[in-house]
């Protein structure tokens, strides 16, 4: 037993899924707030709108902007999945080719070693 050294507890790592979910929520809220600020800035350039009309325009702008962003993110995620599949397929092909080449080289080395051994035995007689 060692004296003088206290054992420290391992660092606590939060569940990655929960962290990702919270991060996504915070990003969505930030995007919503930014869209709302943009809509309010747009409405401020239209002084003839009543408060209710400005709120309605703001609401529609935020909804459309959120839907557009959602579609863009889904398209990006879909493309990322396609690229991942393409890269995984290519990687598997490259590994297979490399394995074949290594196997061929190993066979060639064994054949050369066997030939050299046979030649040495014949010459040694």
DSSP string, 79-119: HHHHHHHHHHHHHHHHHHHHHHHHHHHHHHHHHHHHHHHHH
Give the three-class secondary structure for 31: helix
- The pLDDT tens digits for 6-64 are 556 555 566 888 898 999 899 999 999 999 999 999 999 999 999 999 999 999 999 99
Q: Look up the pTM and report it.
A: 0.62
Provide the CA 40 distance to its chain's centre, in angstroms: 35
- The pLDDT tens digits for 93-111 are 999 999 999 999 999 999 9
pLDDT value at residue 96: 97
Q: From residue 80, how far is each of 29, 76, 90 by CA, in Å?
A: 24, 6, 15
Write out the two tokens for 79.
């493309």
Q: What is the CA radius of gyration of the chain?
A: 33
């Amino acid at each position: 037993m060692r004296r003088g050294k206290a054992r420290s507890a391992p660092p606590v790592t939060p569940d990655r899924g929960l962290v990702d979910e919270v991060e996504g929520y915070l990003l969505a809220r930030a995007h919503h707030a930014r869209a709302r600020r943009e809509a309010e800035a747009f409405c401020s350039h239209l002084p003839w709108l009543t408060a209710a009309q400005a709120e309605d325009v703001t609401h529609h702008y935020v909804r459309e902007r959120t839907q557009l962003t959602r579609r863009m993110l889904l398209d990006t995620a879909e493309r990322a999945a396609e690229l991942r599949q393409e890269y995984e397929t290519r990687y598997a092909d490259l590994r297979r080719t490399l394995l074949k080449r290594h196997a061929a080289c190993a066979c060639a080395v064994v054949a050369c070693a066997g030939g050299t051994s046979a030649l040495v035995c014949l010459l040694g007689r």
